[in-house]
A and B are shown apart, each in its own frame.
Chain A
Amino acid sequence: MMLDLSGCEAELRRRGLVPTDCMTLFSVGSVARGWANQSSDFDFYLVSRSVPRIEGARTVPVPLGHETISTFDFPLDGRRWEVAYWLDSQVDQMLSKVTWSEFDAGVSSLKVMVDTEELFLERIRTGLPLLGEDWLDRRRVELADTAYQAFLTTRSLAEADGNVEDALGMLVAGDIESAVMAARKALGHAVDALLESHGNYGSRTPKWRARRVKEAALRELPFERYWALETMADYDARDPADWVRRVVTLCKDLSVEVEI
């Protein structure tokens, strides 16, 4: 569902929520990706040169030179609006954390950035600009030159492998229910890795995974096959171990197809 964003900038200005040195304002999340429903929030990112003064804003800690971002939300016509305020210098710092030299130096994909940062960089790629489209275009090019995708893909593969090992160990121990749970987790991470290797990000919001698989139209994993696994359509309660083995085998097969 595509929502009309044409009046959003004016509404934010009317409320004094767009600082004079704003470099870009873009819609993010389900609205920007065309996945919104009637109750979806309007989420925006705004990037400015200097720290904005927004009365009533909350602060969120980030591990960057300027150690916080601000967020401000309000209800309008039954919908929640939220603006997150970032600094241009913070974006520079986030991009510098995920360079190829950092990746090649062995910086852990589990620790390279926090979720707030990861989400921001992900949304650079999918955001819909209301202001400063050239800023967004430039940052997209810069992001594409980093190892961001490699960091995410590596992390998802490692998490998939870890859950496969758990599932196999649980099967050996006769803990079948836990093995099923671990296999389900492994599947999610393996699918995320495959999606990430195709530049389709969002592993921190798994509720959208089916949407992402459908959108990506993966040769290696057609949607129908993915959906049958995700919904455990061929799970046989008389032989759960067989399902676990088939799922973890698929996870391993997918990992061969994932280009970091």
Chain B
Amino acid sequence: MTSQTYDAQSVPARKLEARVRKFRGKLFVANASLAFELDEVAELIFRSVDGVATLQQIGEKVAAEYDISVAEAVSDCAELLAQLTENGMVEWPAVSSHQ
């Protein structure tokens, strides 16, 4: 299994192979075999993943929107993005992979 190490200054990007659908107000992200339904916070995080913003900056955006600490928001973002990364929906282009 491949694992990646990234930190708050790492920049995530949406994988171009992932399929996205907005249906009845909900955002769904899918790979070939699995779809995630994103809640409101997860949608904000996913939309903020643009290949430019760092994990820290995305966390700051979420913290400002939901009035929580930046540290907590960055942690929440990292958790969601790790899950999406694991399922091939997000990547970290500048981060090295380790076998």
Binding site for B on A (CB under 8 A): 154, 157, 161, 164-165, 168, 248-249, 252-253, 255-260
B48 to chain A, nearest CB (A): 11
Give the complex CA separation of A112 and B66 in angstroms.
43
Q: How large is the interface on B (under 10, 10 to 19, 20 to 34, 35 or more residues)?
A: 10 to 19
For the complex of A and B, the 10 pairs showing the least CB-CB separation, nearest first, are A260-B23, A255-B20, A259-B22, A256-B20, A161-B19, A252-B16, A248-B16, A168-B16, A260-B21, A164-B16
Binding site for A on B (CB under 8 A): 14, 16-25, 27, 46-47, 50-51
B69 to chain A, nearest CB (A): 27
Give the complex CA separation of A218 and B9 in angstroms.
34
Give the complex CA separation of A165 and B21 in angstroms.
16
Give the complex CA separation of A259 and B22 in angstroms.
5
Residue B21 contacts which of A168, A249, A255 (CB distance < 8 angstroms)?
A255
Give the complex CA separation of A168 and B16 in angstroms.
8
B89 to chain A, nearest CB (A): 11
Q: Of all chain B residues, which has the CB nearest A255?
A: B20
A–B complex contacts, Cβ < 8 Å, 23 sampled: A154-B21, A157-B21, A161-B19, A164-B16, A165-B17, A168-B16, A168-B17, A248-B16, A249-B16, A249-B51, A252-B20, A253-B50, A255-B19, A256-B20, A256-B22, A256-B27, A256-B47, A257-B22, A258-B21, A259-B23, A260-B22, A260-B23, A260-B24
